[in-house]
Amino acid sequence: MSTSREKIINRAVHEIQDGMTVNLGIGMPTMLANFIPVSMNVFLHSENGLLGIGPYPHENVVDPDLINAGKETVTVKEGGSFFDNAESFAMIRGGHIDLAVLGGMEVSEKGDLANWMIPGKMVKGMGGAMDIVQGARKVVIIMNHVNKYGESKIRASCELPLTGSQVVSRLITDMAVFDFTDKGMVLKEILEGANLDMIRNKTEADFSVDKNITQKEGSP
């Protein structure tokens, strides 16, 4: 796992609290399952019909019939349950998901999210993200601060097709943590290895800085 991914996941796991029902999106978010403390009672939900996902399996106990929405093999915790796709989406649309942690391609300063397709590239389908961002009580997006070209993924407005408008509650990158409020986008935390000048330089979107901002030890 790259340093930036490790930094993001280590910060994102603190969003998960005991007793929560949580949906983890495809890609980096699914890795959070391995970082949730065993002492916490958390119900991981997958839109393909599974509640009670455990950590990734070791090779000697892989069951090809147990998969998450990203088609990855998973384990099921004691007491886990299985149900059809319609029941799973009824849970989402009914507001029974406390927290959704999803990946992102772009996030705007208004909290818009684009994470389901890049025009001209083949996609299998839009998946369940459009329902999840509307139905979950809190939506946290985790992603790198910039793309492979060094361009900001946090934009004044999204250029890619939207998954949802003004749906993001919190954004966690490898540099910072932002909240989206009725006063706009607010920088809440500076992560290790970053500083305010670096964040301003790498963020296209307009944001304010929380007066009680925290900075991780080791940040310049």
Q: Which is nearest to 104 in space by CA: 77, 57, 72, 140? A: 140
Q: Which domains, from first to last, does the chain contain?
A: 3-215 (3.40.1080.10)
Is this model's pTM higher than 0.85 or not?
Answer: yes
Distance of alpha carbon 128 from alpha carbon 175, whole angstroms: 28
Q: Show the tokens assigned to 211.
A: 């007066």
Q: Is the pLDDT of residue 220 over 70?
A: no
For residue 193, the one-letter residue type is: G
Cα angle vertex 164, ends 161, 166, to 5°? 120
pLDDT over 60 at 156, yes or no: yes
47 among known catalytic residues: yes
- β strands within the chain, DSSP E: 21-24, 43-46, 50-53, 76-82, 99-103, 106-108, 113-114, 139-142, 154-155, 170-172, 176-181, 184-190, 208-215
- Please write the tens of the pLDDT for every residue from 17-42: 999 999 999 889 999 999 999 899 99
Alpha helices, DSSP H only, in 13-169?
85-93, 129-135
68-83 mean pLDDT = 92
Strands 184-190, 176-181: pairing kind: antiparallel
69 pLDDT exceeds 90? Answer: no
Q: Which of 6, 15, 47, 204 is catalytic?
A: 47
Q: Is the separation of the CB atoms in 187 and 162 below 8 Å?
A: no
Question: What's the pLDDT at 218?
Answer: 56
- Coil vs helix vs strand at 67: strand
Using CA atoms, how far apart are residues 183 and 212, in angstroms rounded to an integer? 16
Q: What is the pLDDT of residue 145?
A: 98
Q: Which residue has the tokens 């099921």?
A: 76
* Nearest by Cα to 167 from 112, 103, 97: 112
Taking 80 as the threshold, does the pLDDT of residue 2 lie above it? no
* 161's tokens: 């097709």
The strands making up 76-82's β-sheet, listed across from edge to edge, are 76-82, 50-53, 43-46, 21-24, 99-103, 139-142, 170-172, 176-181, 184-190, 208-215
